[in-house]
Amino acid sequence: METFYHLFLRQGKKLKSLEILTELLDQSLFNTEFIDTIILNNLVNVKTLTIRKRQHFDIPLFVHFLKKLSNDYNEIKFFNHKYETFNFSPLIKNLILKQRQLTKFKINSESYFSKINTRTKLQFDNLVSLTLINMNLLMISFDNFNNFNNLKELIFNNCEEMSDIQRNKLTKAPYNLKTLGLGKWSARTIELLIKTFGSSLKKLLVGTITIEIINIVSLYCSELVTFKILDNITSIHFPSFPILKKIKIKKLTFLFCDSSLIEPSIFLKNIAIHFPESISNLCLFYNEILSADKLETILYNTKPSLTSLTINCEIDNNCLQVILDYVKIRKSTKILKLKIQVNISKLDLLARNVLKNLREQGVDVQLLII
């Protein structure tokens, strides 16, 4: 792997996106001269940089790489920092602070973000996308969030809930957000943030769903295109289904599991008939193997004709035939995304033939092996 990495970096002048894994900077293959003359010279076109580090790796060459990068390179537009086990926070901080064109930033360390969050208002003007991952929000300051003048995308991915004081500061930020991602938080926090930013949103992700949240989305998010419900929808949400139908969106994602359903078939029929009539893209998350009868219940009780269908879970063998029959009847589906457990060459003959027939129907079949 290290040898391939070495050869790859030598030929990297056309690279626009680069992910650096610290453990691959092996001293038997790399040295400071290679980093100074080859790697950094080949980064001239890189606009997306991801730095990954695993625990207990303290590699001098990587320290040297970071020092050179922070001194000589300020053209990054998208910086993605994975894992918070770095021992060189000043180097990471300096690297990020020197970027003058940074538009997209993902980070999963409270300490780094707190230090970087002290930048001046002017330095934040280009930032349009901020994603905070696996953070305890109580550990960071929201004082400078008002400095992100041009922020269009704000996502809290698996973050612990913010305090009331932080939430109140955030609601005063001058954002015209297009994307908002919220965690599995209290309904009150989610409701207030949707009310604050909903009028401009095109995409909304929520980790908690209630009748009132769906009602607020219908009232405050008139421009919404994509609605991702990442909470487990159960029968207690039945009263909200008619409200859901009123939301004019094109893409809907929802999650459900059998363990919380008394009568799954009735539940699935009830929610499917109340899908918004405007949707054309449906994404399903399910915690078990999705059976053909459940999928059939969803598809044939969904009134809108779907142009795109994503099934983000395992399916039984008969589901493919259900999808093919649906495609032939509705004649609208153009994109199908499926998770499968094996390579397509290992699928049985019947499954391969159904996939072939789907493609002959003009469907772009995209398979993800799990």
**Full domain range(s) for residue 350:** 280-370
Cα–chain center distance at 347? 29
Q: Quick check: 241 and 218 in contact, CB under 8 A? A: no
- For residue 95, the surrounding DSSP H or E stretch is helix 89-97
Q: What's residue 107's pLDDT?
A: 81
The answer to whether residue 292 scores a pLDDT higher than 60 is yes
Q: Quick check: 270 and 241 in contact, CB under 8 A? A: yes
Contacts of 283 (CB under 8 A, 6+ apart): 228, 251, 252, 253, 254, 309, 310, 311, 312
Q: What's residue 352's pLDDT?
A: 86
**Does 273 map to a domain?**
no
- Averaged pLDDT, 344-351: 73
Closest by CA to 140, choosing from 120, 103, 116, 114, is 114
Token pair recorded at residue 100: 């003058």
Q: What's residue 366's pLDDT?
A: 92
**Does 307 map to a domain?**
yes
Q: What's residue 74's pLDDT?
A: 67
Q: What's residue 256's pLDDT?
A: 75
**Does 341 map to a domain?**
yes
CA distance 346 to 164: 53
Q: What's residue 49's pLDDT?
A: 74
E runs forming strands in the chain? 17-21, 48-52, 78-82, 104-107, 129-133, 153-157, 179-181, 203-206, 226-232, 251-256, 281-286, 308-311, 335-340, 364-369
% of residues, the chain, pLDDT over 70 = 73
Q: For all residues of the chain together, what is the average pLDDT?
A: 81
Instruction: Please write the tens of the pLDDT for every residue from 12-21.
Output: 667 777 777 6
- Averaged pLDDT, 105-109: 80
The answer to whether residue 57 scores a pLDDT higher than 70 is no
Q: What's residue 243's pLDDT?
A: 82
The answer to whether residue 240 scores a pLDDT higher than 60 is yes
- Averaged pLDDT, 56-67: 68
Q: How confident is the model at residue 165 (pLDDT cuts 50, 70, 90)?
A: very high
**Does 100 map to a domain?**
no
Number of domains in the chain: 1
Contacts of 217 (CB under 8 A, 6+ apart): 194, 198, 204, 224, 227, 247
Q: What's residue 155's pLDDT?
A: 96
Q: What's residue 85's pLDDT?
A: 47
**Does 128 map to a domain?**
no
| C-alpha dist (Å) from residue 16 to 23, 43, 77, 162, 189 | 22, 8, 10, 35, 38
**Does 359 map to a domain?**
yes
> How many C-beta neighbours within 10 Å does residue 17 have?
12
The answer to whether residue 309 scores a pLDDT higher than 70 is yes
- Averaged pLDDT, 98-113: 75
**Does 334 map to a domain?**
yes
The answer to whether residue 2 scores a pLDDT higher than 60 is no
The answer to whether residue 151 scores a pLDDT higher than 60 is yes
**Does 352 map to a domain?**
yes
Closest by CA to 81, choosing from 94, 96, 59, is 96
